[in-house]
């Protein structure tokens, strides 16, 4: 009979396992054939419920909205139209507002005639280098991202109304101002189903809101 593992040998095993997990590439397996679900990442939206928001370029305001959503939009190098569709559907249907009798999480933008301001944001795919400098190799390259991002806006307008979908300016330095209402901020990842996650991850919701 083998000796039962002691606490310290167990913790060594745990530390080694963690080390292997952390040092492993997402899509690889570590010795022993324990399968790790590949962590696929793709299009990412940071969805913020706002009382108002605006974008300025060179100190000139180019877009402004009242109540609605400010969405930071990050495109991953692997994104396809399917990812766009996934995000469009969720952005137009996410229920961030209360209904007439005050029950929370019941109404989406379209039901309230609210607006959506999208801001392209490749830095969502920044990873830190050893020198703690952000590295954007996972973000879609500029020209493909530009056309995919405008396709995304087109799809949102088709799914809602032209005038309700506003935009920053792709590729420009922008000043983004917002009044986050709650705060309520969620992250939508177009491959979260693949990753075994739920529809979205609540990052910061003030429970008293």
Ligand X SMILES: *[C@@H]1O[C@H](CO)[C@@H](O)[C@H](O)[C@H]1NC(C)=O
The residues of the shown chain that bind ligand X, judged by CB under 6 A, are 31-33, 99-101, 103, 106
CB of 34 to ligand X, least distance (A): 9
CB of 103 to ligand X, least distance (A): 3
CB of 31 to ligand X, least distance (A): 5
- C-alpha Rg value of the chain to the nearest Å: 21
Encode 53-82: b = buried (16+ Cβ within 10 Å), e = exposed.
bbbbeeeeeebebebbbbbbbbbbeebeee
What is the spatial distance between Cα 204 and Cα 183, in angstroms, rounded to a whole number? 7
Residue 32's alpha-carbon distances to 2, 38, 39, in angstroms, are 20, 16, 19
Of 19 and 29, the one with the shorter C-beta distance to ligand X is: 29
Of 100 and 143, the one with the shorter C-beta distance to ligand X is: 100
Enter the DSSP assignment of 97.
Answer: B
CB of 105 to ligand X, least distance (A): 9
Residue nearest to ligand X (CB): 103
Q: What is the 3-state secondary structure (H, E, C) of 15-65?
A: HHHHHHHHHCCCCCCECCCECCCCCCCCCEEEEEEEEEEEEEECCEEEEEE
Of 2 and 31, the one with the shorter C-beta distance to ligand X is: 31
CB of 209 to ligand X, least distance (A): 16
């Amino acid at each position: 009979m083998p000796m039962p593992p002691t606490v310290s040998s167990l913790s060594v095993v745990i530390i080694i396992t963690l080390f292997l997990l952390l040092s492993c590439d997402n899509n690889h397996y570590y010795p022993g054939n324990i399968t790790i679900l590949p962590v696929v990442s793709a299009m990412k939206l940071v969805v913020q419920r706002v009382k108002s928001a605006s974008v300025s370029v060179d100190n000139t305001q180019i877009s402004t909205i009242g109540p609605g959503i400010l969405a930071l939009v990050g495109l991953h190098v692997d994104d396809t139209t399917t990812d766009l569709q996934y995000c469009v559907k969720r952005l137009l249907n996410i229920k961030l507002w209360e209904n007439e009798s005050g029950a929370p999480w019941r109404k989406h933008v379209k039901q309230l005639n609210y607006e959506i301001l999208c801001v392209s944001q490749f830095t969502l795919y920044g990873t830190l280098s050893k020198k703690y400098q952000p590295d954007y190799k996972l973000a879609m390259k500029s020209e493909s991202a530009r056309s995919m991002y405008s396709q995304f806006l087109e799809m949102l307008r088709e799914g809602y109304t032209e005038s309700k979908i506003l935009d920053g300016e792709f590729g420009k330095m922008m000043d983004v101002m917002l009044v986050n209402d709650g705060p309520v901020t969620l992250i939508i990842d177009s491959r979260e189903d693949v990753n075994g996650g739920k529809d979205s991850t609540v990052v910061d919701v003030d429970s008293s809101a």
